[in-house]
């Protein structure tokens, strides 16, 4: 059944940046579907948003499970007839990097960790976006936001004066660089349509991945995703942003 309300689906949204993005979009009147591998945690997160008067519901969803992609597409088609906003938020970092210290895993990262990282952070994102794109095309102004990282910037990684020059988790960084390439290529393919595709760097945030040493609170970390998910018609596409400022590729 088609509906006029805006609908967003966010992967990995039962906690951290995903949940904060859901809260931010919900406060703008968007109906948010919380994707969570742990169904119980997803329901708990949705319940918390509902208590605040927001429209939210949980969807059991494993981003690496292609059957879940198909089930989600069928659910969105039946319930809403389209998808307005896709936020590819779920991601992993398996190298155990301590971002408060210099590190470089390039010669030590295992092939297993490299493949697992790319499967979640890149291949699953491409597959899910391709599956949901027909529904996003049905929206008046579709928005696709992929959670990248400043650590995906080749420009900054190759500059010895850059603040991230001595922070090199190879599998994680390379997966985010690849994700940025997907943003650029998909935005070019969708040029001339109302759909906008962008990569978001949320910042170094106090999350399970970011750690306690991170300078930003989760409440700040969700702002970039919300901004890019609600861009006006004259907003940018094919870009890489943090709090409205472009980052170098």
240 is catalytic: no
pTM: 0.94
Sheet with 7-10, edge to edge strand ranges: 56-60, 31-36, 7-10, 85-88, 143-147, 196-200, 239-242, 245-246
Of the residues 167, 168, 172, 240, only one is catalytic, namely 172
138 is catalytic: no
pLDDT of residue 100: 78
Strands (DSSP E) found in 1-73:
7-10, 31-36, 56-60
Consecutive 10-residue averages of pLDDT for the chain (249 residues):
78 94 97 96 97 97 98 98 98 87 95 98 98 98 97 97 94 98 98 98 60 54 93 98 94
Whether the CB-CB separation of 119 and 94 falls below 8 Å is answered with no
Whole-angstrom Cα distance, residue 41 to residue 32?
A: 15
Class of the domain covering 7-246: alpha beta
Whole-angstrom Cα distance, residue 178 to residue 237?
A: 17
Of the residues 176, 196, 206, 223, only one is catalytic, namely 176
Residue ranges per domain, the chain? 7-246
């Amino acid at each position: 059944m088609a509906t006029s309300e805006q609908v967003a689906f966010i992967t990995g949204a039962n906690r951290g940046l995903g949940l904060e993005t859901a809260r931010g979009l919900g406060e703008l009147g968007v109906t948010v579907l919380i994707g969570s591998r742990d169904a119980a945690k997803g329901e708990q997160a949705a319940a918390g948003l509902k208590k605040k008067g927001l429209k939210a519901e949980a969807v059991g969803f494993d981003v690496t499970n292609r059957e879940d992609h198909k089930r989600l597409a069928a659910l969105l088609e039946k319930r809403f007839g389209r998808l307005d906003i896709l936020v590819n938020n779920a991601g992993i970092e398996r190298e155990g990097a301590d971002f408060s210290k210099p590190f470089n895993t390039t010669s030590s990262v295992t092939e297993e960790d490299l493949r697992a990282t790319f499967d979640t952070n890149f291949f699953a994102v491409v597959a899910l976006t391709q599956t949901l794109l027909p529904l996003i095309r049905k929206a008046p102004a579709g928005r696709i936001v992929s959670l990248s990282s400043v650590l995906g910037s080749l420009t900054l990684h190759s500059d010895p004066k850059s603040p991230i020059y001595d922070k090199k988790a190879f599998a994680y960084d390379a997966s985010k660089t690849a994700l940025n390439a997907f943003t650029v290529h998909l935005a070019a393919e969708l040029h001339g349509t109302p759909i906008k595709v962008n990569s978001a760097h949320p910042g170094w945030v106090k999350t399970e991945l970011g750690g306690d040493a991170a300078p930003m609170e989760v409440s700040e970390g969700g702002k970039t995703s919300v901004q890019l998910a609600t861009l006006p018609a004259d907003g940018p596409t094919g870009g890489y942003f943090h709090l409205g400022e472009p980052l170098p590729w």
